[in-house]
Structure 1
Amino acid sequence: MSNLEKKNDSDSPDVEALERPDVSERVDKMTERKLLSKLDKRIVPVIMWMYLMNFMDRVAIGNARLYGLEADLGLDGEQFQIAVSVLFITYCMFEVPSNLIIKRMQPARYLGGLAIGWGLVATFSAFVQNFAGLVACRLLLGFFEAGMFPGIILYLSMFYNRNSIALRSAYFFSVAAISGAVGGFVSYAIGFLDGRHGWLAWRWVLLINGIPSIVTGLVIPFVLPNSVETSKFLSDEEKRQLYVLRHTEVGQTVSGQQLHKADIMKAVKDWTTYGYAFCGFCQNIMLYSFSTFLPTIILDIGSWTRPEVQALTIPIYSLGAIAFLIMARIGDITGKRAIIIIPFNFIAIIGYILLLSNAGTGASFTGCFFIGIGVYTAGGMALTWLTSNCPRYGKRAFSSGFQLTMANAAGVPAPFIFANSTAPRFIQGYSTTIAALCCSNLMFLTLALYWRRRNKRRDAGLEDYKMEGKTEEEIMEMGDESPRFRYMY
């Protein structure tokens, strides 16, 4: 058993507390790269696959719509938009509570259980016969999916430090783009099953998208570790080195990585918690409307068959994923966030302006590419920005959970700004999204200037008085309140 395993570990409550490594030592860059590579090979492919299954299940309803879901279930008026949006009611209700219990429940088993739950609901959604059944399935889907996204963001922060988490989060979040491409391809292929065994294609879309999630959930507990300390694929020396890498950062003490009520209350009282949450809401107005209605938008700007529309979504999503991965790597190297987020929001705004201009199929389709580039890069980098500035676990758990709660609350109004009555121009939807992104950029700029000012004060020694009379351990325990801590912006 590793010398890092201690009482109350998430994987074994009975392990004994043993001697901790000396965090005054340093791990060289070559060793650090090897350690991160080993973590990447075990963790990153699993969470990418898990989120692929999750996002495909969530947005499959957009592809099902193309294959006759509305007509077959007799939906009228805004009933489809209602069915899309109700998922986010239960989704938002359970994100913060889920983040606060994930460590106690053992992360790998907890995430696996969620995958089984939403996979079952997604699969049985194929059997609904009316609007009420569809709404019930969407509410249940939101309940099981609520803990997945914030849980994985928090899970990654248990293994990676603030200078390496952006790229890993990008691997994970870029799957939102990849899922669009994969979902488009899968739905294109499933379209040829239309009429088989008396089922319309939309039922096959929901059924075939749901089953892999169940299998994924069964496998996850056997491949994902619950913590660095209990990772069987790491040697004792590698665990020691990872411990040193994490705990040389201010706030990354053993106590600081436990859940404390005081840390939660600090997050509640911190205005930046609400600033990031506001940005999350604005960003996800774009994300959810784009991911759900992109097939409909493409259908309305050209003369294509429905299978062709599905195929045309693939390059848009793929380019979005590539752009995000590149910029996340740059963000990790430079330690910058706002200077990436704000310009990419403007790129998305240009895309919406092209759609609003109605200047022809070519211009509108180009606009879709601009939006695809902006939506994932800006939104994904915002998530890593918040967690990078919350070194203590309790504050990070609440803040990231609340940010994602508000972000996903955007899923409720997003379908209605693209109401059927506004098709095919969707002027209301495009204009509202542009306004949301402008508001988001203003808040991102405010946050960046605020963190920059805080860092300058600390560089000038204006907050050094906070360390007076404190031991080194107590200074490390201060987390982001320590004058030694520097905020990312």
Structure 2
Amino acid sequence: MNSKYTREAQEIKQTKKTSTVMEKALGPDIEGNASSSSTPVSITSTQEFDVKATKRLLRKIDRHVLPIMCIICLLCFLDRANIGNARLDNLEQDLHLVGLQYNDCLAVLFPFYIAAEIPSNIMMKRIRPSTWLSFIMFAWSACIIGQGFVSNYQGLMATRALLGLFEGGFFPGINFYITQWYRRNECGLRMALIFSSATLAGGFGGLLARAIAEMDGVGGLSAWSWIFIVEGLASIVVSVAAYWAVYDYPASARFLSASEHAAVEHRLSADSGPLSNEFDTKYIWQALADWKIYIHMLICMAGFCPVYSFSLFLPTIIKNMGYSANNAQLMSVPPYVFACAFTIGGSYLADRRGQRGVFLLGFQLVAILGVTLLAASENTTIQYTGTVLAAVGIYPQIPLGLAWNGNNIGGSLKRATGIAMQVMGGNCGGIVASYVYLSRDAPRYIVGHSILIGFIGMAFMLTLFMTIWCRRENARRDALARVTANDVIPSEQKMLERELADDVLWFRYTI
């Protein structure tokens, strides 16, 4: 045994003998695991009923938490990407956009989006999620409505910048919010269900834009103006309803009984251990100094770049296959439908297996295949097949990657900061995405497709690295556990180490 293992093992042994009584007194959690919390929980006498009770509790939480989040997510992505649909209805011509001005209007959203993410997640931690999410949604909805009345390049740039500032808090906020309700092996599917709304937004956006286009000329406004106005008004209505529909945290949820409150808190504590949930800026600095989060930022950037490229340019790409503008809107729907199904299915299987990396690797290979078909063939059928495969491979990466990073960060404030950092990295990919498909490369966009292949390839290599590292680090910590004769790590030591987040020796990474 090397000296490093021996030294760490000795540190564990020093406080072991003093806590046996405490550890036994805590009893099993709702799923029969060793408890790390003293929260009293009403537990039945049979394991069979415990499993059924847990499933009923999760279904109850799902019914109250997920629907409103899915609706907000759908509208968020619809509001962000509808400029791609508006482009087909003479947006550029009416605003006299030339050269790269359209691409500039896409890109200007992301620096403001990135700047808002960490402060927004800190606000999520400081005040009620229902208040904060409702506020930023109302604000970005107003920006979308204003976008429908712009008359020039400068106006569109200004409204897009404000849109990024207010929308920036939603996606990292929602992923942090889910970790406050579910155990680590339950977050992936829930994030996928919410993010699948984004894929549906891509398909629904095409259908809705096709219908709204019939309002062309009403009130003296063009069809693209009405796309922004109608969808912005829908978001305004939902933002007001969200103030009452969003439940903040399990401890204050009115739909849970007293015993269910205790059960949820107990499950979360048993899942992550007694890591600190206090609001202290040192946990923000812990996240900023964690190299693993920066790897996940790069993986997320390489995932979001093709996601944004598709959502912003797919109608244009399909139109350049030879379809009319209206038919291109409709033909953009099927890729999103397939993407939605695989996003949910992939995350469900990942939760069941307790793994993320291997599923990410598989979807990344599918994405590379799909984009390669787009770049390599002039056949319309093969190209369209490529768009479907690309969507199937691209979209599941986002919830899988976010769940993976969130699973492997200990402590709620560090996790909130780390998730925000990851999404910041992702939205750096959005800046690149705004310039991937340039008009001068039409109709094949081979340069743009090649850029996406390079980004997805980078994500594949980084994902492979993190998968191997997590396996080896878990094996190292398991070896240290064997050195201590497989005894339970004392509760007192866990409390002393609660400020170390995922660096504590008893924390195990999701692979």
User: Which residues in structure 2 correspond to 1:291-440 (within 5 Å)?
Assistant: 291-302=311-322, 304-440=323-459
Whole-angstrom CA distance in 2 between matches of 1:359 and 1:121: 40
User: Which residues in structure 2 correspond to 1:440-459 (within 5 Å)?
Assistant: 440-459=459-478
Aligned to 2:279: 259
- Counterpart of 2:495 in structure 1: which amino acid? E
Out of 104, 115, 121, the position equivalent to 1:82 is 104
Aligned to 1:128: 150
Whole-angstrom CA distance in 1 between matches of 2:340 and 2:100: 31
Shift in CA distance, 463/280, structure 1 to aligned 2, threshold 3 Å:
farther
Aligned to 1:9: none
SS at match of 2:192: helix
User: Which residues in structure 2 correspond to 1:83-122 (within 5 Å)?
Assistant: 83-122=105-144
Shift in CA distance, 324/252, structure 1 to aligned 2, threshold 3 Å:
farther
SS at match of 1:485: coil
Whole-angstrom CA distance in 2 between matches of 1:257 and 1:407: 26
| Contact persistence 1:259–1:394 (CA under 8 A) | yes
Deviation at 1:301, TM superposition (A): 1.3
Whole-angstrom CA distance in 2 between matches of 1:60 and 1:469: 52
| Contact persistence 1:251–1:392 (CA under 8 A) | no
Aligned to 1:8: none
Deviation at 1:336, TM superposition (A): 0.6
Deviation at 1:103, TM superposition (A): 2.0
- Counterpart of 2:360 in structure 1: which amino acid? I
- Residue 73 (structure 1) aligned with residue 73 (structure 2): no
Out of 63, 73, 76, the position equivalent to 1:41 is 63
Deviation at 1:259, TM superposition (A): 2.5
- Counterpart of 1:102 in structure 2: which amino acid? M
Shift in CA distance, 464/183, structure 1 to aligned 2, threshold 3 Å:
farther
Deviation at 1:24, TM superposition (A): 12
- Counterpart of 1:181 in structure 2: which amino acid? G
| Contact persistence 2:357–2:464 (CA under 8 A) | yes
| Contact persistence 2:150–2:156 (CA under 8 A) | yes
Whole-angstrom CA distance in 1 between matches of 2:146 and 2:274: 44
Residues paired across the two proteins, number: 468
Whole-angstrom CA distance in 1 between matches of 2:86 and 2:494: 58
Please say which structure displays the higher CA radius of gyration: 2
Whole-angstrom CA distance in 1 between matches of 2:65 and 2:271: 22
Whole-angstrom CA distance in 2 between matches of 1:71 and 1:290: 22
Deviation at 1:258, TM superposition (A): 2.5
Superimposed CA distance per residue, residues 28-81 of structure 1 (whole angstroms, 9 cap, x where no aligned partner): 221111111111101100000001111100001000000000000000000000
Whole-angstrom CA distance in 2 between matches of 1:463 and 1:389: 22
- Counterpart of 1:75 in structure 2: which amino acid? L
Aligned to 2:23: none
- Residue 184 (structure 1) aligned with residue 206 (structure 2): yes
- Residue 279 (structure 1) aligned with residue 263 (structure 2): no
- Counterpart of 1:37 in structure 2: which amino acid? R
Whole-angstrom CA distance in 2 between matches of 1:463 and 1:320: 44
Deviation at 1:463, TM superposition (A): 9.3
Aligned-residue sequence identity (percent) comes to: 32
Alignment RMSD: 2.0
Structure 2 residue runs of 5 or longer lacking an equivalent are: 1-36
Whole-angstrom CA distance in 2 between matches of 1:137 and 1:62: 15
Superimposed CA distance per residue, residues 405-464 of structure 1 (whole angstroms, 9 cap, x where no aligned partner): 111111112121211111111111100000011111111111111110010011112697
Deviation at 1:197, TM superposition (A): 2.8
Shift in CA distance, 463/123, structure 1 to aligned 2, threshold 3 Å:
farther
Whole-angstrom CA distance in 2 between matches of 1:414 and 1:429: 9
- Counterpart of 1:258 in structure 2: which amino acid? E
Structure 1 residue runs of 5 or longer lacking an equivalent are: 1-18
Aligned to 2:39: 21
SS at match of 1:411: helix
Aligned to 2:224: 202
Whole-angstrom CA distance in 2 between matches of 1:200 and 1:417: 28
- Counterpart of 2:373 in structure 1: which amino acid? L
Shift in CA distance, 212/463, structure 1 to aligned 2, threshold 3 Å:
farther
SS at match of 2:480: coil
User: Which residues in structure 2 correspond to 1:460-471 (within 5 Å)?
Assistant: 460-461=479-480, 470-471=492-493
Out of 219, 239, 250, the position equivalent to 2:241 is 219
- Counterpart of 2:316 in structure 1: which amino acid? T
Whole-angstrom CA distance in 1 between matches of 2:363 and 2:378: 23
- Counterpart of 2:285 in structure 1: which amino acid? M
Deviation at 1:468, TM superposition (A): 8.2
- Counterpart of 1:220 in structure 2: which amino acid? A
Shift in CA distance, 143/163, structure 1 to aligned 2, threshold 3 Å:
same
Aligned to 2:15: none
Shift in CA distance, 472/352, structure 1 to aligned 2, threshold 3 Å:
closer
| Contact persistence 2:409–2:501 (CA under 8 A) | yes
Aligned to 1:13: none
Superimposed CA distance per residue, residues 355-375 of structure 1 (whole angstroms, 9 cap, x where no aligned partner): 111231100000000011011
**Please, which moves more after superposition, 121-130 or 19-28?**
19-28
| Contact persistence 1:118–1:144 (CA under 8 A) | yes
Deviation at 1:479, TM superposition (A): 3.5
SS at match of 1:191: helix
Whole-angstrom CA distance in 2 between matches of 1:207 and 1:463: 63
- Counterpart of 2:39 in structure 1: which amino acid? P
Superimposed CA distance per residue, residues 88-125 of structure 1 (whole angstroms, 9 cap, x where no aligned partner): 11101110111112121211110001110001110111
- Residue 158 (structure 1) aligned with residue 180 (structure 2): yes
